[in-house]
Amino acid sequence: MEEQNNAMPNLTTNYGLFLLSWGLIATYLSDAQSFTSFLPSLLGLALLVSGEMAKMPGKKKLWMHVAVTFGLIGALGGTRFFMVMADGLNYANSSMLMLLLTGTAYTVLCVRSFIAARKAREAAETEA
């Protein structure tokens, strides 16, 4: 049960590590001189911290809500891809597309997890 209980915090931590790595690698490979190339890394750091904090007893609900907020911010930021997609896939545009796709998937998974947790809590209350 403990493993399943930490499934979303573990996913959040791993997604945060992915974004952190993506931003650093893309910035290095593209030799970007812009602060915005680090945005995936900043979101990743926030998700990494949120995922780890969600593993603390009694703090899961709070930190997973914080985490899904950052996931949604990433997805919304990725919608800028539609404004620049005619330019082709360079590092910046690829990062926007990646944020759109992965941020949306992560947000959907979080919402589904929140719904399942609420149903389980309500079922447990009904049985008691």
- Please name the amino acid found at residue 79: T
pTM: 0.91
Q: pLDDT 10s per residue in the chain (128 long)? A: 555 688 999 999 999 999 999 999 999 999 888 888 899 999 999 999 999 999 999 999 999 999 999 999 999 999 999 999 899 889 899 999 999 999 999 999 999 999 999 999 999 988 86
What is the number of domains present in the chain?
A: 1
Task: Report the alpha-carbon distance of residue 1 to residue 5 in Å, rounded.
Answer: 6
CB atoms within 10 A of CB 16: 25
By residue range, what is the domain housing residue 105? 2-127
